[in-house]
Amino acid sequence: MNAITPAALQEPAPDAVQAAVATLEEDIVFGRLHPRERLTEDELMARFGMKRHAVRQVLVDLELLGVVEKKRNIGAVVRAFSVREVMELYALREVLEVHAARQMPLPVSEARLAALVAVQREHDAAVAAGDARRVFRSNQRFHREFVGLLDNAVLGQAIEEYARRTHPIRFGSLVTAGHRERARQEHWTMIQALRDGDRDALMAVCRDHLIPSRDAYLASQQAYAQTQGTYLAPSASV
């Protein structure tokens, strides 16, 4: 039997790193951590009971997710967006996602829709339970399944990339019951349009589905800036 070395005992389980990443991601999404807030290695080490090298891996993974950024002489901070950045990113997402609706082969068969419908039923249950965390995760799965219906891998990759870039923005609207219910209903509108082959309805709902998360993020950041006695810049990074 192989001996366990002290170094091996210090290595964190991959699941522990992934769990810390998921916890911090949700803290950012649900506003428990605010844009520009620092994430210090010492605090994370104490919180998660991890060694420094493991915490650094957590921060790298969060940076890859797009929810954290490294700033010179400051360290890791929660990613923040200016008004201009938000508007430009969402304008591009609208172009990509409406184009996807225009290009998607319609109608979509029940067999191909099965996975999307199954995920949406999970989303329905999460919304009914008021479980924001489950809403967040099932919403992610729904959109991955939706993009998977495209017969255009390049377009699908572009949509996923810009969805990832707006990750800290996209889910801010999910913290309120009204926004969660609107998103749930719009998902079923997408499914029905896919089933009916109604391209105009699909394009319209794909466009409208982007608006609440964009506007909720801007409103929340303006409110937070006011509590801090600062001003949310329209163009410069904040």
What's the pLDDT tens digit per position in 147-193? 999 989 999 999 988 887 887 787 666 668 888 899 999 999 999 99
- Mean pLDDT for the chain overall: 86
Return the closest-CA partner of residue 208 out of 227, 173, 235, 183: 183
**Site of tokens 């999460």:** 126
Whole-angstrom Cα distance, residue 19 to residue 58?
Answer: 9
Q: Among 5-9, 204-208, 228-232, whose mean pLDDT is lowest? A: 5-9
Domain 14-78 fold is: Arc Repressor Mutant, subunit A (1.10.10)
- Is residue 231 scored above 60 in pLDDT? no
First to last CA, the chain: 56
Domain ranges of the chain: 14-78, 83-228
Task: Please tell me the pTM assigned to this model.
Answer: 0.77
DSSP for 73-92 reads TTEEEE----HHHHHHHHHH
Look at 225 and 106; give whichever has higher pLDDT.
106
Q: pLDDT > 70: what percent of the chain?
A: 86
8 A C-beta contact, residue 113 and residue 194: yes
Give the pLDDT of residue 9.
40
Which residues face 184 on adjacent strands?
none
CATH architecture, domain defined by 83-228: Up-down Bundle (1.20)
Three-class SS state of 51: coil
Give the pLDDT of residue 5.
44
- Is residue 11 scored above 70 in pLDDT? no
Three-class SS state of 233: coil
Band of residue 3 on the pLDDT scale cut at 50, 70, 90: very low
Structure tokens at 94: 């609208």
Give the pLDDT of residue 82.
87
